[in-house]
């Protein structure tokens, strides 16, 4: 799931009267048979992500295919529509995956996304165990830039973890998977839904208290800690014990880290969300922290900084950074069928009104 092979940001949407014009809301002509589905490159709760090549021009995309029946069974359609809405806004930021278009059949939903093949941060972290501080700083800065942008749109991300951070073929970050995003949260407002990934849950979420955008800075702290030390900060195989650690155990930082890194981790992983780094001035506090003093943020945003790691991919068909558990799985024939051979489940046709979206085609550069 991801950004174009060359990491090219999607085009800026036009603005009219101060509002973003996201283009037409429907793409009535798109269908699964427009694509050759080549490989499985990821999995989720409600479907799969596949490498697909559009037949008309040979362009590669990551296509996220979701089963309506499973979504409706778990009453998750609002999350899917929220993901679509957030994806439409991502065209403005270089470190967020872009949605090219979306369409649906009676049984399935299709997100046609920018494709990146530099691998998940999780994949590289598993292989290398931990990163040196300059590399962790680079990734953390690009992620923080993306999170800061979402916050500027009053969106809380809520699911930051290494599995949701991809690298493009040049080694830049591409944040993906927006299913748990919460829209419309003003700076002083809170929300209360219990959601996220256990290892990265903030204490206020575990306590089922109202929480604000500071939960994302906690998650950034957990990811930075994991990049530097190999495991999340309060990790335990026993989930109940891990929750207890998050709530009550003091943060323990192994030796060998700079004073700046330790101070950043203590600030981001403060158990009191009101005292957490980023709780007052949001992204500005993160940018101004001494740990990021080597970063020129304007150069970072415009990708003028050389990434510390080059994935060295040969082209869009190079899948060496994807888990073989996915890529060796056979692609189901039903993925590319239209119409679906199984009768539509009751309510599926009306539950996702407005899901389809199309923007004008733009050239995507391959590596």
List residues with catalytic annotation: 159
Buried-state track 271-289, b at ≥16 Cβ within 10 A, e below 16: bebeebbbbeebbebbbeb
Q: What is the DSSP string of 151-191?
A: HHTT-B-----GGGEEE-TTS-EEE---TT-B----TT--B
Half-sphere exposure of 40 (CA within 13 A, CB side): 18
User: What whole-number distance in Å separates Cα of residue 235 and Cα of residue 225?
Assistant: 11
CA-wise closest residue to 253 among 229, 286, 220: 229
And the tokens for 101? 């278009």
| Cis amide linkage into residue 243, ω under 30° from 0 | no
Burial class (CB in 10 A: 0-12, 13-18, 19+), 192: exposed
CA-wise closest residue to 316 among 104, 102, 83, 118: 118
Q: How far is CA 297 from the centre of its chain?
A: 21
And the tokens for 192? 């209360």
Q: Count CB atoms within 10 A of the CB of residue 187.
A: 11
Give me the torsion for CA of 34, 37, 42, 44, rounded to 10°. Answer: 60
- Check the annotation: does 182 bind a ligand: no
Q: Write down the residue that tokens 């490498």 correspond to.
A: 51
**CA distances (Å), origin 38, targets 41, 42, 105:** 9, 12, 20
Largest CA distance in the chain: 61
The annotated binding site is made up of: 73
The annotated binding site for ATP is made up of: 73
């Amino acid at each position: 799931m991801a950004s174009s092979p060359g990491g090219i940001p999607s085009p800026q949407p036009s603005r009219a009267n101060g509002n973003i014009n996201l283009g037409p809301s429907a793409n009535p002509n798109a269908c699964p048979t427009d694509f050759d589905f080549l490989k499985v490159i990821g999995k989720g709760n409600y479907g799969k992500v596949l490498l697909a090549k559009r037949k008309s021009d040979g362009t590669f995309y990551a296509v996220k295919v979701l089963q309506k029946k499973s979504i409706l069974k778990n009453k998750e359609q609002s999350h899917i529509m929220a993901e679509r809405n957030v994806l439409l806004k991502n065209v403005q930021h270089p470190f967020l995956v872009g949605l090219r278009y979306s369409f649906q059949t009676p049984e399935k939903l299709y997100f046609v996304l920018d494709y990146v093949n530099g691998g998940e941060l999780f994949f590289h972290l598993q292989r290398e165990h931990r990163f040196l501080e300059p590399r962790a700083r680079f990734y953390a800065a690009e992620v923080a830039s993306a999170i800061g942008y979402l916050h500027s749109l009053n969106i809380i991300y809520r699911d930051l973890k290494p599995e949701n951070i991809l690298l493009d073929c040049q080694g830049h970050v591409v944040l993906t998977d927006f299913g748990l995003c919460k829209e419309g949260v003003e700076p002083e407002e809170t929300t209360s839904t219990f959601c996220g990934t256990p290892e990265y849950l903030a204490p206020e979420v575990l306590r089922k208290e109202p929480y604000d955008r500071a939960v994302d800075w906690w998650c950034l702290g957990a990811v930075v800690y994991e990049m530097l030390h190999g495991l999340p900060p309060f990790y335990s195989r026993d989930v109940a014990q891990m929750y207890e650690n998050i709530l009550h155990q003091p943060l323990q930082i192994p030796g060998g880290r700079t004073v700046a890194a330790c101070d950043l981790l203590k600030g981001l992983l403060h158990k009191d969300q009101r005292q957490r780094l980023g709780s007052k001035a949001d992204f500005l506090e993160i940018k101004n922290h001494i740990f990021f003093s080597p970063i020129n943020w304007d150069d970072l945003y415009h990708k003028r900084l050389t990434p510390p790691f080059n994935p060295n991919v040969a082209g869009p068909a190079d899948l060496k950074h994807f888990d073989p558990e996915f890529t060796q799985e056979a692609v189901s024939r039903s993925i590319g069928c239209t119409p679906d051979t199984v009768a539509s489940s009751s309510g599926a046709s009306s539950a996702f009104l407005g899901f389809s979206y199309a923007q004008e085609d733009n050239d995507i550069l391959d590596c």
